[in-house]
C-alpha cells in the first residue's frame, strides 16, 4: 500500500528544493570564476535532489516492512519492530538490540494554514497506516 500526499502538496513539498536549485543555476550562469560556478552547480544539484525527494515524500507499507521516504533519507523499518504510530505523525519502533527509536513522517505533517481537504487526506492516510501497523 502506497500512501502519499495529494498532488498539490507534493508540488509544494518539491518547491523547498526547486526554488534554491533555480537560484543556484542562475548564480552559476553569472559567476565570474570557476570555483564559484562549481559551488553553485553542486548546490543546484543538491537542491534538485531535495526537490525530487520532496515530491516523492510518502510511506510504502509492504508485507513485512514499512518504507518511509523523507527529504534526506529513506528509512526501512521491520513491521514487527513497530510499537506504535503517533498523531505527530511519527513511527515508534525498537531496534533488534532493543533501542527505542522514533522516525517522523514528514509527508503527513499538518500545519494550521492548510485547507481542510489536504488535512483530511493526511488524516485518512495516517489512519490507514495506524491500522496497517496494528499487530
What is the rounded average pLDDT of the residues 15-44?
94
Q: Which three cell numbers stand for residue 46?
A: 543538491
Predicted confidence at residue 134, as pLDDT, reads 87
Give which of 41, 40, 45, 71 is closest to 58, Cα–Cα.
71
All residues at 6 or more sequence positions from 98 whose CB lies less than 8 Å from its CB, including other chains: none
Domain annotation covers residue 48: yes
- pLDDT (average), residues 4-28: 94
Q: Is residue 113 part of a domain?
A: yes
Q: 97 and 62 share a domain?
A: yes
Task: Specify the pTM.
Answer: 0.88
For the segment 95-123, the average pLDDT, to the nearest whole number, is 94
Rg (CA), the chain: 18
In a domain, 1, yes or no: no
Domain boundary pick from 34, 54, 74? 54
Average of per-residue pLDDT values in the chain: 95
Q: What's the pLDDT tens digit per position in 30-84?
A: 999 999 999 999 999 999 999 999 999 999 999 999 999 999 999 999 999 999 9
Question: Does 67 lie in the same domain as 50?
Answer: no
Predicted confidence at residue 127, as pLDDT, reads 95
- CA-nearest of 119, 107, 118, 123 to 74 is 107
User: In Å, how far are 4, 13, 112, 114 from 109, measured between CA atoms?
Assistant: 11, 11, 10, 10
80 shares a domain with 63 = yes
Domain that residue 111 falls in? 58-133
- Same domain for 117 and 64: yes
Band the pLDDT of 112: cuts 50, 70, 90: confident
How many domains, in total, are found in the chain?
A: 2
- 3-class secondary-structure state, position 50: helix
User: Contact 111/88 with Cβ under 8 angstroms?
Assistant: no
For residue 120, the model assigns a pLDDT of: 95
SS3 66: strand
Query: pLDDT at residue 135 above 80?
Result: no
At residue 69, the pLDDT reads 97
Amino acid at each position: 500500500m502506497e500512501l502519499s500526499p495529494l498532488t498539490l502538496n507534493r508540488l509544494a513539498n518539491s518547491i523547498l528544493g526547486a526554488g534554491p536549485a533555480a537560484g543556484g543555476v542562475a548564480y552559476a550562469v553569472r559567476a565570474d570564476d570557476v570555483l564559484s560556478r562549481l559551488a553553485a552547480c553542486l548546490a543546484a544539484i543538491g537542491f534538485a535532489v531535495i526537490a525530487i525527494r520532496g515530491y516523492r515524500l510518502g510511506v510504502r507499507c509492504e508485507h513485512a516492512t514499512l518504507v518511509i521516504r523523507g527529504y534526506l533519507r529513506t528509512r526501512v523499518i521491520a513491521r514487527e519492530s513497530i510499537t506504535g504510530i503517533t498523531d505527530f505523525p511519527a513511527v515508534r519502533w525498537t531496534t533488534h538490540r532493543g533501542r527505542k527509536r522514533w522516525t517522523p513522517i514528514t509527508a503527513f505533517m499538518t500545519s494550521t494554514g492548510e485547507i481542510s481537504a489536504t488535512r483530511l487526506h493526511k488524516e485518512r492516510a495516517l489512519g490507514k497506516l495506524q491500522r496497517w501497523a496494528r499487530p
